[in-house]
Chain A
């Protein structure tokens, strides 16, 4: 009886946006008289962080600190339409809509600042700390708080903007499947190291080496959380999860987490992750959708590592101890 070690690989791509497009999202933005900008959305944050990403996109476009941006989302009475949070679309669609809205608001902001400072709007810049200033003349500047007050009470202007992103719908050709399904593709490659116990059939994933190409990491900490959490889910799918363990039989379906197993802290492999950035021309600051992709490559990488370890080719998910042991038995019989 032995613990057998093996290594397996998998490389994948993943489309950004609802398949075939036709999935718009809108954003509205306006400055209050305090110089705070409110982004109105109806997008849902499932924990992936769209509220944070929307604020970052707006702050970058406006040229203001992120503390000057608030996100008000997911009330259908006040937020403009969003198709929803799925299909790795949130950052791409909502990010683009926010950038478009913020760009319009920035234009008004600079126009009003030009009037206040009696200069040409084209000669103004934002410094990222809250000031709009004349290029090359640091002292000629106005803070956004003063500017927003002046815009409202003195100039009668709203500093606001509207944004939408739509990838126009594509219809597949029924005979050939010709279609335009995606906005861009993200990429990942996983090397998995596993240990198979040939007595119990238990597979332990020891290490994952992951390279991800994601267009642009808009928020490197949240991107790290997303890829590591996704890889965990891949491990979970590979080794543990199903609601029908003897599919297509409907028997033995779990009803709680005592029967539906997922990896606990002791089951989590060491993850070595690396980002590559090949910016997408249509992505917000080049970003691609990575929400779904990161669970995918670990599953076949683990299957291939199990084969490398013990010679058992698992064609059915999940890779339970029972399946591993039956595979080992079959090898001994031949």
Chain B
């Protein structure tokens, strides 16, 4: 077996590498297993099709669940007519909000972040296109789809708001009554703040001031395996939930709160997942599937189809970021002001968390003595965004590193030298007031320059994360 291996540079940080390995392994020598290639334990199963995923669980009498979803961006629900749907052969039950014991998602309750702001099934209003209203449980997937298609909902349209800055304006349509305003409140503040040094003084004293705007759009996690679960009622009254969740106990705890049942009534079986990328952190399929399994007293499968995965499942938030920098002639950035808007969509999910993570990431991996940031978590009438690989950081990096390139070009400086000049080093105080340690930005820049054949002058090649040399 041969493996593709990126080389490891053993000369940089050689002393620290050796010190951390000292006393490990046989006779205090090298590692025996760590640092070695071991075949991924499930690789053979994955490539031969023998790995079992949750959808391979096929208990007898398995019933299927499909959602009837909102056809409007923002509307009052005037009436829900189930008559035709219930007449579809094979339809067993249709669940509405009245069937859910505690009809509120509680993703952040367990870490003390509120308020609960999202129904499992819509009550009197829908706040985004695709919001679930009724769950149809049927003998077959086709019958469940047919039943869902025959539900008639009468709406009274309400004005939607789709733009984060529009949503924050006076008189904008209110997206989410649980919050009472179109943004999350952070301990009395309208946004998550960073206040470090004095940016006004930095802008007054700067040789140059640069301000630009950046924008991203929602991005789908796009796992090969869509979000789903199979719930199997047990003889002892417990529910066994086969799930592709990224977090088994998170799913268990939240599902129990929604079912209003003791935690130990539930058992999650998972652990082998066909890609997550954050899309399987929210607990969206298990609670309603459990209610359905209890109501029908049958095993129930609820799996998103690809269209649901792309348009209803929570994506990476769109972000809008304004960055204003105070820069000296030599390229030193002495102040950075960032205003960041995270488009949470109609409900909070994990966006308040991601917005705080974005604040912690600012002003990027640079030692900037004056930093001001306002990071807003904003509600709009779109699919709620939530966790996705690097959320809070990925889009900020697009903005920050585009900004660095533009500053370098405006001042006619080498883009890597500009970064090396401003890179954070051990001992620097970050904007969130933690002292930096274990830094290595200088070294990855130097190595990438070498790889790409970008020449750096001797003074820049001698810079280090552990010294102030060259500054």
Q: Which residue of A lies closest to B307 (CB)?
A: A255
A43 interfacial by beta-carbon distance below 8 Å: yes
* Separation of A187 and B390 alpha carbons in the complex (Å): 14
B73 interfacial by beta-carbon distance below 8 Å: yes
Contact status B434-A247, CB under 8 Å: no
* A174-B189 contact given A74-B270, A213-B443, A224-B6, CB 8 Å threshold: yes
Q: Which residue of B lies closest to A81 (CB)?
A: B249
B401 interfacial by beta-carbon distance below 8 Å: yes
B454 interfacial by beta-carbon distance below 8 Å: yes
In the complex, identify which listed stretch (A105-113, A120-128, A144-152, A324-332) lies at the interface while the others stay far away.
A120-128
* Separation of A277 and B281 alpha carbons in the complex (Å): 30
A15-65 residues at the B interface, CB under 8 angstroms: 15, 19-20, 22, 42-47, 49, 51-52, 55-57, 59-60, 63, 65
Contact status A281-B438, CB under 8 Å: yes
A119 interfacial by beta-carbon distance below 8 Å: no
A219 interfacial by beta-carbon distance below 8 Å: yes
Q: Which residue of B lies closest to A316 (CB)?
A: B215
Collect the chain B residues with CB atoms within 8 Å of residue A296's CB. Answer: 390, 393-394, 397-398
Contact status A274-B275, CB under 8 Å: no
Report the minimum CB–CB distance from A327 to chain B (whole Å).
14
Contact status A188-B444, CB under 8 Å: yes
Per-residue A-contact encoding for B354-366, CB less than 8 Å = 1, 0 else: 0011011100110
Q: Number of B residues contacting the other chain (C-beta, 8 Å)?
A: 139
Contact status B271-A11, CB under 8 Å: no
* A85-B247 contact given A180-B434, A216-B20, A304-B401, CB 8 Å threshold: yes
Collect the chain A residues with CB atoms within 8 Å of residue B269's CB. Answer: 74-76
B353-382 residues at the A interface, CB under 8 angstroms: 353, 356-357, 359-361, 364-365, 373, 380, 382
Q: Which residue of A lies closest to B454 (CB)?
A: A191
A14 interfacial by beta-carbon distance below 8 Å: yes
Per-residue B-contact encoding for A78-109, CB less than 8 Å = 1, 0 else: 01011111100000000000000000000000
* Separation of A19 and B404 alpha carbons in the complex (Å): 25
* A51-B41 contact given A187-B440, A304-B401, CB 8 Å threshold: yes
Collect the chain A residues with CB atoms within 8 Å of residue B26's CB. Answer: 63, 125-128
Contact status B5-A220, CB under 8 Å: yes
* Separation of A181 and B431 alpha carbons in the complex (Å): 12
Partner of B20, one of A85, A180, A279, A295: A279
Top 10 closest A-B pairs, CB basis? A74-B271, A84-B247, A300-B401, A279-B20, A211-B447, A189-B448, A247-B217, A213-B440, A191-B452, A10-B401
Taking A74-B269, A128-B25, A245-B217 as known contacts, 15 extra A-B pairs with beta carbons closer than 8 A to each other, sorted by chain A number, are A20-B356, A44-B248, A45-B271, A60-B25, A172-B432, A178-B433, A211-B445, A221-B3, A224-B5, A241-B222, A242-B216, A260-B310, A274-B447, A276-B444, A285-B24
